[in-house]
Structure 1
Amino acid sequence: MFYKIINRDLFNKGFSGSIPPELGNLSNLKVLILQKNALTGPIPPELGNLTKLTWLNLVDNKLSGSIPPELGNLTELDSPRLSDNYLSGSLPPELGKLSSLRTLWIENNNFSGSIPPELGNLLKLRWM
């Protein structure tokens, strides 16, 4: 029997280390919640392969580095939550391709630079 994994809720499970890039192989994944763990390192660019993803929650970890531009491939994403980490750098202009985006939770990180003008293309965006 074959099963499709479409939801991974791993909220507050005590995970540490980096996010495995192999998660990018779960092509049917719609929900990925890794909130409130002790995850470190960068967000793997392979998560940009999860084109059916509608919900991504990485809040309250210890993630660092920049937001990978590959996340701009997640056009079904509604409300990514990346708050309360150590993310840095500038916001990638590729986020302007997230046509379903309604909210963008990125507070309490170490971002620098200006907001890319491409985010002005996000007609459904109501809160950032």
Structure 2
Amino acid sequence: MRHVLRKGHSSVYLQYDYIGDSMGIENLVATARDGTVVISFDVRPVDSNQRMDEEHLHTDELREIQLSDEYSIDNLASFLESPSAGGKEIIVELTTRGRMLRYRVAIGPAGLAFLPLVVQRLD
């Protein structure tokens, strides 16, 4: 089962140990695959600053992805509550510079207007 969480452009906040970056993304999708929920998106920097920030994904350890788009958060919550999602494990797959990075996810406590996805690198 595949569910589009947000069509078009959106953004996320990427938190590392000592720095954080806002980053443009596209194609935010949730998919149920063999008992796992996979949240996927493509990193799409919107300017030269974000293109430089994208380098952190390749050099630093990502700790958290924060969704701040209310529409996307609501769609994700609905998807996770659906019986067809049936996922026990949640994975994020993000594509950056032609490379897919995969992370195991624990959903953190929602803050005011954001949903933290605490991540651990898989590969």
TM-score between the two structures when normalised by the length of structure 1: 0.26
